[in-house]
Amino acid sequence: MRFISATDAKQNFAALLDDAQRGPVVIRRQSRDQAVVISPQEYARLRGLAVADFQAFCDRVGQTAVERGLTGRKLASLLRTDD
């Protein structure tokens, strides 16, 4: 992973974009990490992982609920609001 200063990122923005195509670039300001620039492909990959992880979590919760006796009818009763 490459690290650059915020000043360098501003002054060499085109180069920053080129570098991000090869791997993540961390932008630092006052010795603290402020942002990470990544390629659109890497962003899409990470989003896909997040969605897949969330789906797997939902599947596990659903399976546990079924194993503990939750039915569609019981769920509807729990979610019903009596306003």
**pLDDT score at 82:** 77
> pLDDT by residue (tens digit) across 10-21?
999 999 999 999
Structural domain including 52 reads 41-79
**pLDDT score at 14:** 97
CATH of the domain at 25: 3.40.1620.10
Those residues of the chain that have pLDDT short of 70 are: 83
Identify whether residues 24 and 50 lie together within a single domain: no
Nearest residue to 30 via CA among 5, 1, 66: 5
DSSP 3-state helix, strand, coil percentages of the chain (rounded to 5)?
65, 20, 20
- Model confidence pTM above 0.75: no
